[in-house]
């Protein structure tokens, strides 16, 4: 049974070494940096422009849906590349073609649903 836990011991040791390394760097940074806060340094910085108004800004939920759709189609690209590489192998052609049409059918259904809900319009 000791051989089983040797792998975990290496992971724990590397995690501790990494934590000490990061903690040591952050501690050295805190000890070596100058600390002279002024009122100008503590104000909010907006790309060189003095901030106007309060910090509250509303954003539409629709933008999150666009981000979600982007992630869905990025994942689609991740699945399409291995399919394209194995498609040319003998014996896999028709099977992988059918599986990919099922996968693309699911994606098309989701896209049609999003279009029907009006998510894809920028109005």
C-alpha span between 72 and 84 (Å, rounded) = 18
66-117 residue pLDDT tens:
787 788 778 777 877 777 777 777 777 777 778 888 888 988 898 888 888 8
Structure tokens belonging to residue 64: 């999150």
In the beta sheet, which residues pair with residue 34?
Answer: none
14-67 residue pLDDT tens:
999 999 999 999 999 999 999 888 887 887 766 666 667 776 777 777 777 778
pTM of the model: 0.41
52-70 residue pLDDT tens:
777 677 777 777 777 877 8
C-alpha span between 16 and 22 (Å, rounded) = 10
């Amino acid at each position: 049974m000791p051989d089983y836990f040797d792998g975990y011991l290496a992971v724990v040791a590397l995690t501790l070494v990494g934590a000490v390394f990061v903690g040591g760097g952050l501690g050295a940074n805190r000890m070596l940096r100058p600390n002279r806060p002024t009122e100008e340094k503590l104000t909010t910085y907006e790309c060189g422009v003095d901030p106007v108004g309060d910090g509250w800004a509303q954003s539409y939920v629709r933008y999150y849906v666009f981000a979600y759709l982007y992630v869905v189609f990025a994942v689609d690209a991740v699945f399409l590349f291995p399919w394209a590489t194995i498609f040319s192998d003998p014996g896999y052609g028709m099977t992988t073609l059918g599986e990919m049409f099922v996968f693309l059918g699911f994606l098309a259904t989701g896209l049609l649903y999003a279009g029907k809900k009006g998510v894809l319009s920028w109005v």
